[in-house]
């Protein structure tokens, strides 16, 4: 029986966690007191004068000198339910509010696993809690928030406020892979949404009171904001999230960009590691590939180089008008004799990979691969981020067949009749228009066999 209060989201340099703990703990005079567990990443500094009775402080950071048992909050959560309470919240002083939250969970028949109540300063609330649907897509590394349409019986995936009390069964909290991660409450909402847990706001206008938050000085405000951003970045890394999409289309990215390495390492045997983990190409990497492909196509077209979508990129264009969701590069073929028309292809050929490629005016790096890699040219998103477009040089031999001097041994690496390129046709691809063989379906049948378009396959199925 009972509810354990968890205090987790507070700052060492500015908090009222002692007052919050006193308000709820058994040391208070309230008839609705509860055991309190304060969870901190490191020992609070300066030290805080918590009550000796009814409050347990658990430091998550392990210390070589002490048993790790002392760093495990699970050992101190002995009640059936827990309530995660934000700093500066106060016990209402009457029996009922925590019980209402508990009943919301227990009387739902399993439909509600997380009950939510707001926190307000100074009497009656001047706002209402807003509900959102939250879709977690691990395969695409993405979170998507959408407006509540009112068709789920008052249940939702997330609440638009950080000043809320959450109540759930202790066993449910401890079943989460990151039960004590910050920022609160988003870390709980995201993990709950992935499991399909219902989140319900307590009705009836019931709110927990709170003491006002005094204004922070500029340095403390900067420090708090910086910590919030770092915690959110760490949470998204732990959860495997690269992109948040909010109502209205606003995006927040956590993956790679031009100034950081790509999100995956060297590809082994044609299969990226993320596929083996049940995921597709991270959205930040797809963004980089789209940007690089659009740039390369623009340069080739302005230079008069005849090119076309090749291989998996052509497959993606026909299926989706985009890059295949699990692909890790973009493939273009081009007429080898046109290479001299493009300044960057010429310079890459002359440079021969000795200095790591040639950087163009927009920061993309053009490189001629070493011998033995099929004679390919590569254009990288940047020197740091090696997402790239492969440019395969073909030329017509006797009999009107397009061929190359070097082959990679890939099954799709075959000669084909030049008639496919006379003429080339435009196709939508990755947010722009690129040129394609004139009978792309038949071209792909030649490369991949029957049914390649209609029956998507991972590499090395």
pLDDT at residue 205 in the model: 76
How does pLDDT run across 109-164, given as a tens digit for each residue? Answer: 999 999 999 998 876 665 678 899 999 999 999 999 999 876 666 789 999 888 99
pLDDT at residue 27 in the model: 54
CA distance 369 to 92: 69
In the three-class reduction of DSSP (H, G, I as helix; E, B as strand; rest coil), residue 221 is classed as: helix
CA distance 73 to 39: 7
pLDDT at 29 over 80: no
CB 396 within 8 A of CB 384: no
How does pLDDT run across 387-403, given as a tens digit for each residue? Answer: 999 999 999 999 899 99
Mean predicted lDDT score pLDDT of the chain? 93
How does pLDDT run across 424-459, given as a tens digit for each residue? Answer: 999 999 999 999 999 999 999 999 999 989 999 988
How does pLDDT run across 254-303, given as a tens digit for each residue? Answer: 999 999 999 999 999 889 999 999 999 999 999 999 999 999 999 999 99
CA distance 448 to 461: 14
C-alpha distance from residue 43 to each of 38, 40, 410 (Å):
11, 7, 57
CA distance 180 to 8: 7
CATH class of 283-448: alpha beta
CB 391 within 8 A of CB 361: no
Q: Are strands 36-40 and 3-7 parallel, antiparallel or unpaired?
A: parallel
Q: What is the DSSP letter of 413?
A: -
Question: Domain-by-domain residue ranges, the chain?
Answer: 3-210, 283-448
pLDDT at residue 10 in the model: 94
Q: What is the torsion angle, in degrees rounded to the nearest 10, for the CA atoms of residue 424, residue 426, residue 427 and residue 433? A: 130
pLDDT at 96 over 60: yes
CA distance 242 to 262: 12
CB 90 within 8 A of CB 209: yes
Indicate the fold that domain 3-210 takes in CATH.
Answer: Spore Coat Polysaccharide Biosynthesis Protein SpsA; Chain A (3.90.550)
pLDDT at residue 31 in the model: 56
pLDDT at residue 215 in the model: 87
**Mean pLDDT in residue range 300-321:** 98
More confident residue, 419 or 65: 419
pLDDT at residue 348 in the model: 96
3-210 shares its CATH topology with 283-448: no
CA distance 189 to 134: 8
């Amino acid at each position: 029986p009972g509810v354990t209060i968890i205090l987790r989201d507070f700052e060492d340099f500015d908090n009222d966690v002692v007052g919050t703990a006193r308000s709820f703990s058994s040391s208070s005079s309230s008839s609705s007191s509860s055991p309190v567990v304060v969870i901190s990443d490191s020992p609070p500094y300066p030290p805080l004068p918590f009550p000796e009775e009814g409050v347990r402080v658990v430091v998550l950071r392990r210390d070589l000198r002490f048993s790790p048992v002392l760093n495990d909050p699970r050992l101190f959560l002995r009640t059936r339910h827990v309530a995660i309470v934000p700093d500066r919240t106060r016990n209402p002083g009457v029996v009922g509010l925590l019980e209402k939250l508990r009943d919301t969970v227990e009387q739902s028949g399993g439909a509600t696993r997380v009950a939510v109540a707001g926190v307000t300063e100074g009497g009656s609330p001047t706002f209402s809690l807003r509900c959102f649907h939250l879709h977690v897509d691990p395969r695409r590394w993405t979170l998507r928030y959408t407006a509540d349409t009112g068709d789920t019986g008052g249940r939702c995936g997330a609440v638009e406020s950080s000043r809320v009390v959450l109540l759930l069964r202790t066993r449910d909290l401890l079943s989460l892979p990151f039960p004590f991660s910050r920022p609160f409450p988003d870390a709980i909402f995201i993990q709950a949404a992935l499991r399909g847990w219902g989140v319900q706001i307590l009705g009836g206008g019931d709110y927990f009171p709170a003491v006002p938050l005094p204004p922070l000085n500029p340095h403390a405000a900067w420090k708090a904001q910086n910590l919030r951003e770092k915690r959110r970045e760490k949470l998204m890394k732990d959860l495997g999230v690269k992109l948040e999409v909010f109502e209205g289309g606003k995006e927040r990215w956590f993956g790679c960009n031009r100034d950081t390495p790509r999100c995956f390492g060297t590809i082994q045997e044609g299969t990226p590691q993320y596929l083996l983990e049940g995921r597709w190409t991270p959205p930040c990497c797809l963004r980089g590939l789209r940007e690089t492909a659009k740039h390369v196509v623009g340069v080739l077209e302005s230079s008069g180089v005849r090119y076309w979508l090749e291989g998996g990129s052509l497959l993606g264009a026909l299926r989706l008008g985009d890059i295949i969701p699990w692909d890790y590069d973009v493939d273009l073929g081009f007429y080898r004799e046109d290479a001299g028309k493009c300044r960057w292809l010429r310079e890459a050929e002359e440079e021969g990979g000795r200095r790591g490629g040639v950087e163009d005016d927009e920061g993309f790096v053009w490189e001629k691969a070493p011998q033995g890699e099929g004679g390919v040219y590569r254009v990288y998103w940047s020197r740091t981020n090696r997402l790239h477009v492969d440019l395969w040089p073909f030329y017509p031999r006797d009999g009107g067949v397009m061929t190359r001097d070097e082959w990679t041994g890939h099954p799709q690496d075959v000669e084909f009749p030049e008639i496919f390129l006379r003429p080339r046709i435009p196709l939508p691809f990755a947010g722009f228009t690129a040129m394609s063989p004139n009978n792309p379906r038949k071209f792909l049948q030649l490369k991949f066999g029957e049914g390649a378009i209609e029956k998507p396959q991972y590499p090395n199925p």
